[in-house]
Amino acid sequence: MSERSDIADDRTDRPASAVFLTVADVLAEAAVQQGEPDVIVGGAALGAAVRWAHVSDSVGVARLLDGGELLLTTGAGWPVDEAELRDFASSLHRAGIAGIVFELKTARQSVPQPVVDVCATVGLALIALTHEVKFVAVTEAVHHALIAAQTQALRERQHLHELFTALSLQGAPADVVVSETARALGSPVVLENLAGEVIATEGLGMAVAEVLGNRSAAERVAVQARGVRWGTLLALPGAAHPAGRVTVLEQGATALAFGCIADGGDAEWSLLAQRGVIDDLLGARFAKAEDIDARLRAGGFALRGRHCHGIVARGNGSISELAYRARQAGFAVMAARVDGDDVALLSVPASTGLSDEVLLRIAGPDRAVFVGPVADDVLGLLGSLRAARDLADSDRAEAGARVRRVDDRPLERLVATLRDDHRLHEHSERMLSPLIRHDRERRGDLLDVLAALVAHPGNRSAAAAASHLSRSVFYQRLTLIGDLLGADLDDGETIAALHLALLARRRTATSG
């Protein structure tokens, strides 16, 4: 049996994307306004779709209607009996008309009360024209407006086709396609994968947390091609679009599907989403911590009730493999490649320890791992990730498997805590300015030499090796540093103060 067997043979099948006016649109037409319309039943009923205007006074008009018509009538042929009037009005409603425009004083002085009662009960728009109008002028205006709207819709669809075809041919990434879809619709758009994780979002000024919190009310279109579904494109409620909101979403979904085919799947989507979250977190590009928290949760990354860390993995390896191994270990993860290193956020159960063995297994063979302190909120996670990166930047050891933790480096932890304190930066500038000026004017390496010294305070041979200088040249540099700073580099307090200044300077450079 056909899936369409329940459709009556005498009804016309119309595409769902057909362009309509509303009853309110028709009321705004000058030809209708000349009749000084009085809305008897309005409200939500005025939003009903009008696909055509039909003129008839016949009592049998209902069987000639196909739904969506605006009936223009004087009521001349209508019954007089109240029960028959109620049955007649109910038949019009069952026929699916958009509303009734009743011209007074031509045949009747008022709209029959039984008709008013039925229209009010079923929510059928009912408008009385208090002055005589030419129905032909009304139908002409309605039909002209419908044709104009359909023409505009065709233009808009052509524009959308050109826009999204260009994006597909250019290989535009998913976030660009999502942004263009949102701008075309004028409402926020979200792309999810099959697991419901958010890949990209464009809020058009709306807070990310608010956008993601309202997804249940969104219109949805599947992103799929060649029988394979990769995700869902969602649009929050918004104004009508001339081409139809679903049409815009479908065009965006098609461009996204082409991108998936070209990339061999949706693996790039997750990497894109994670890179966006990490970039915005590191750059503090968020107005409210709740926005980042919402994006993390939408990607399956929980903060509350968990132990979270920022980590950096250095050495040859794949960011996607690191993320895969972290998930296999039972951790939630966000990972991205940043400035040549693999940067990741790990969320682990509070009862699970993050041992060196586990970290090295997640990072991959022969990789160094730098671990920030534990965090349980967005700002803490930002501090943890920044601290891990600063620790990685300060490590000049050769490649090889090892784990270094900020918790084991008290000065690193102190600088991470005070990173926004202007006094810390003033201390750094005051202590290091002679060396900074020297290196800038002479293309020198005194800051690098000092960094090697504070990294190996009790072993100057190791410090010389770390700076890639001979022992004699290294000692000459130390003498110059001591002279420029007027400081004793054998004094422990001085070395600690210089180490603090270097850490603060490195953090400033990383933030910039």
Residue 75's nearest CA partner among 54, 51, 105, 31 is: 105
372 DSSP 8-state letter? P
Intervals of the chain under pLDDT 50 = 1-17, 512
Residue 224 lies in a domain: yes
Chosen domain end from 126, 142, 158: 142
pLDDT at 500: 83
pLDDT at 5: 34
Do residues 434 and 385 both lie within one domain? no
pLDDT at 180: 92
CATH assignment of the domain containing 399:
3.30.70.2730
Residue 284 lies in a domain: no
**Distance between start and end Cα atoms, the chain:** 68
Contact predicate 432/447, CB 8 Å: yes
Question: Which alpha helices (H) appear in 214-318, and where do they start and end?
Answer: 245-263, 267-282, 289-298
Residue 378 lies in a domain: yes
Residue 337 lies in a domain: yes
Do residues 182 and 221 both lie within one domain? yes
Do residues 397 and 313 both lie within one domain? yes
Contact predicate 313/368, CB 8 Å: yes
Residue 279 lies in a domain: no
Do residues 50 and 135 both lie within one domain? yes
Do residues 138 and 26 both lie within one domain? yes
Distance CA 210, CA 482 (A): 56
Distance CA 438, CA 153 (A): 67
Residue 437 lies in a domain: yes
Q: pLDDT digit string (tens) for 101-146? A: 999 988 788 999 999 999 999 999 999 999 988 899 889 988 888 8
**Token pair belonging to 269:** 């989507």
Q: Given the DSSP bridges, would you call strands 228-235 and 189-193 parallel, antiparallel or unpaired? A: antiparallel
Residue 329 lies in a domain: yes
Distance CA 308, CA 329 (A): 14
Instruction: With H, G, I as helix, E, B as strand and everything else as coil, classify residue 419.
Output: coil
> What is the domain extent for residue 77?
21-142
Do residues 135 and 30 both lie within one domain? yes
Q: Give one word for 247, left, alpha or beta, with left for phi > 0 and alpha for psi -120 to 50.
A: alpha
Do residues 28 and 135 both lie within one domain? yes
Sign of the C-alpha dihedral computed for residues 47, 49, 50 and 56 taken in this order:
negative
Do residues 356 and 259 both lie within one domain? no
Count how many domains the chain has.
4
Contact predicate 269/231, CB 8 Å: yes
Chosen domain end from 406, 440, 465: 406
Do residues 27 and 136 both lie within one domain? yes
Chosen domain end from 248, 267, 286: 267
Do residues 395 and 319 both lie within one domain? yes
Do residues 317 and 363 both lie within one domain? yes
Do residues 63 and 135 both lie within one domain? yes
pLDDT at 508: 62
pLDDT at 36: 92
Cα radius of gyration (the chain): 35
* One-letter identity of residue 16: A
Q: pLDDT digit string (tens) for 463-489? A: 888 888 888 998 999 999 999 999 888
CATH assignment of the domain containing 248:
3.30.450.30
Residue 333 lies in a domain: yes
Q: How many residues does the chain have?
A: 512
* One-letter identity of residue 25: D
Beta strands across the sheet bearing 368-371: 332-338, 341-349, 306-314, 368-371, 402-405
